Every structure is written in structure tokens, then in C-alpha cells.
A and B are shown apart, each in its own frame.
Chain A
Amino acid sequence: MSKPIVATTSLAGCFGCHMSLLDIDERILDLFDLVEFNKSPIDDIKTFTKECDIGIIEGGCCNSENVHVLQEFRKHCKTLVVIGECAIMGGLPAMRNNVAPISECLEEAYLNCVSVQANEEKIIPNDDELPMILDKVYPCHEVVKIDYFIPGCAPRADLIWNALVALVTGNEMELPYEVLKYD
């Protein structure tokens, strides 16, 4: 049987969840025995070259690029797993959701904030090349269907490992009390 193919990405996240994935220590060697990686920052493959079995998503959707990548993942992966608070509920980026409309957030970031010094022409970036910022930060499951959720900030390495093992072996996931945390 060929190995299951895994893709991973970070949307509006901080790469902390990917760091936590690396935190499985020497089990990373077992992981490379168990699965093959496709599009992922781990092997630096930028676009899907194969259909994948498991897609792992870190981060929610804060701009049009995130939505596009997430939809690509849904298209090319049989099973989508979101990892981390940002993917599950927007996380820290979503703290802007209930504070101010996006226009105010951009003005604060580029014009009014005390640390803004070099923007004399008062430019708020708005180039066609740049992804559009969304009105809010959306949890992934409000954009596409998500199959499994792995919470944590970042999820404990053991939790990610247990989830991957369960997915690859088809067994039920081990969920000891101390590995399921929201922070």
C-alpha cells in the first residue's frame, strides 16, 4: 500500500502550530516513514502536485489569499484537519472582529498608531497584487467543510501526533486529559 499523502499550510497563523508539529521530536522520523508530504512548508513544495489524503491547516482566514488556499486544500485533500485556536475560532487575529470595522483597523495600523513614522503620504496599501483583507477573520469551518479539529495554542505536539496516527491507522484517537488544552 502506498503511503498516505499529507499537505500542510499556515493561513492567518503564526507558524506556532507547525513548530508544535516539529516538537514531536524523533517521532518525526517515524512520520516520514508513515506518510509522504506534498504541498507544505516542511518540504517547501508550493503547489499541489498530487491529490492528498490529509490536509493540515493552521490559522484562520483573514484575507482573500487565505480563502483561496483553504479552498484549494478542500479540493485536493480527502480529509481536512484544522489545528490550533486560530483555525478553529480565528484566534488572536480575530480579536479585531469585535473591536472596529476593518477600515478603522487599517487606519490605526498605517496612519494613526504611535509607532507609524515613515508613512508621510498616508498610504494604506491597496495594490491589486496584494490579497484583500476580509471584513472579519473567519474560522476555517465557516469557509469550507472541515473534518477534524485539534485545539490548542499551539496544540500539544502529542495531540497532533495522536491525531495523525489515528488518521493514518484508522484507529480511534487517543485523547489523554493533559494534552487537550486551549492555550
Chain B
Amino acid sequence: MSKVLITIDGKGFLADSEKTVLEVARENHIYIPTLCNLEGIKPQGSCRICTCMIDGRMMTACTTPVNNGMVVVTKTDELDKLRSKIVELLFAEGNHFCPACERSGNCELQALAYLYKIMVPEFDYIFPNRDVDATHPKLILDHNRCILCKRCIRRKKEAENPTWFVFENRGNHVKINFDHELTADMDDEMAQKAMDTCPVGAIIRKEKGYDVPIGRRKYDLHPIGSDIEGKE
């Protein structure tokens, strides 16, 4: 693997040429916010939260491979504003009733909203008509909270297992669904794995939830990314 020299936020780093900007930043304890990205699955760059200035252009860090001499800026007021607007759009576009959500306090979308100190989305709430599928013995699928990041679908594909989750419909009507036959004998561990793959509360384990008290959940006291940023 050959090495390249890249500059991130003014500091030079030697990086494997096969890595992406996001991976190199993470290795070097620089936090770039992500949402549709999950370590271990192929990035698709759809949520655009990880947009950085790369060689003077706005590009997604999760899909851009590093290059010799590349200059990356991960944080500017403009970038943060764009990122926060994406989060606001996602809140306005779904039905996110955080106070009644099992995922609250452990949700990546909500954690990003806290990071950007969003008091209210700039956009009008759509209140789309979406349903909740609770027919599966182990899982609940709450379409109200799904941000269509495709993490659930992509993870299984990568692991070369049969895909549990699929997209159905097109465009505006697209929603996730899953194979009830394939997942009929899903155990608790597999159900937990499916839930953990989802960044939000769209895939929820049945008969589980609200088991960590407020104040002790993942993002109650520590902002998202604080386990990466500045840690040596």
C-alpha cells in the first residue's frame, strides 16, 4: 500500500492511498460528522453530512479517496451551517417525536442536532402519513423515524448474508421493509444487531427500550464525536 501526504485542518498526515478522507481523519482523531456512514460497510455518500472542503471544493469525506497533496478543511462556519440544515430538513421531513422515542439519547440524528444546537428547524414540518409495522416477533419498524440512509440494507449485503432489509417503492414513496420469512427465527442478538445498525429509532427491538435512565444515555453528557475528536 503506498503512502500519500495530505493536509487536514492545517496539519500534515501520512496516509494509506487506499483510504478515504473520512478514514484518515478518524485515524488521526479528527471528527467529521457522519450519518449514513457506518464503519465496516461501503460508504455511499447520500446524507452529505460529512461534506468538507477538499482541494477547495465541497465533497463528501466518506467517499473521497485521499490523494497526494490533498488539502482538506473539515470545519468552517459555512460547512457547519450546511450540515445543520441537513439535520433540520430530516427533522421536518419525518415524524420525530423524540420524547416518545425508544432511541432518544442514543440517536445519531438527535445527537447531531444537539451538536449544532438546533433549537427549531427552519423548515415547516411535513407530518407525512407513515405507518408502524409491528408484525414481526422481534422487531418494530417505525417508518416515521426512518431517514432512508440504507445502513440496514447495506450492512447485510456486505456481510454476504441474504439481505434482510430492502427498499420498496420509488422516489417519494420509498420505504424500507424486511423479509419476514428470512428473519422469522431471528434471535435477540440478531435483533439487537439490526437495531444497532440503524442510526435512528426506525428499527426497534420489541419489549425493550427506555432501559437506560435519562442522564446516562450515550449522548446525554458527551457530544457525538467526542470519543474521536482530540483523543490520542
- Chain A interfacial positions (CB closer than 8 Å to B): 85, 88-92, 94-95, 97-99, 136, 139, 141-142, 148-151, 153, 175, 177-178, 180-183
Contact = CB atoms under 8 A, between A and B. Distances in A.
B120 A149 contact: yes
Contact of B114 (A88, A99, A141, A181): A181
Specify which of A94, A150, A181 lies most central, judged by the most chain B CB atoms within 10 Å of its CB.
A181
Interface string B117-153: 1011000110111100000000000001000000000
B99 to A, nearest CB: 4
B220 A92 contact: no
Nearest to A152: B99
Interface of B: 91, 95-101, 104-105, 110, 113-114, 117, 119-120, 124-125, 127-130, 144, 214, 220-223
B121 to A, nearest CB: 8
Most interface-central of B104, B114, B127 (chain A CB within 10 A): B127
Nearest to B110: A182
A183 B105 contact: yes
A151 B128 contact: no
A181 B220 contact: yes
B88 to A, nearest CB: 12
A139 B114 CA distance: 20
A181 to B, nearest CB: 7
A141 B120 contact: yes
Contacts of B96: 89
Contacts of A94: 97, 127
B127 A88 contact: no
Contacts of A91: 97, 99
Given A92-B97, A136-B127, A182 B113 contact: yes
A151 B99 contact: no
A150 B119 CA distance: 6
A50 B220 CA distance: 40
Nearest to A136: B127
B117 A182 contact: no
Contacts of B99: 85, 91-92, 153, 182-183
- Nearest 5 interchain pairs by C-beta: A153-B99, A182-B98, A149-B120, A149-B119, A97-B127
Interface centre among A89, A141, A142, A148 (most CB of B within 10 A): A89
Given A94-B127, A151-B119, A181-B105, 11 more contacts: A89-B96, A92-B99, A97-B95, A97-B127, A98-B95, A99-B129, A149-B120, A177-B223, A178-B221, A182-B114, A183-B214
Nearest to A150: B119
Nearest to B113: A182
B174 to A, nearest CB: 17
B98 A183 contact: yes
25 contacts: A88-B119, A89-B97, A89-B120, A89-B125, A90-B125, A91-B99, A92-B100, A94-B127, A97-B95, A97-B127, A98-B95, A98-B127, A98-B128, A136-B127, A149-B120, A153-B98, A175-B117, A177-B114, A177-B221, A177-B222, A178-B220, A180-B114, A181-B105, A182-B99, A182-B104
Nearest to B124: A142
Given A182-B113, A183-B105, A98 B220 contact: no
A40 B141 CA distance: 42
Contacts of B97: 85, 89, 91-92, 94-95
* Best-buried of A91, A142, A175, A177 by chain B (most CB within 10 Å): A177
Nearest to A97: B127
A98 B124 CA distance: 15
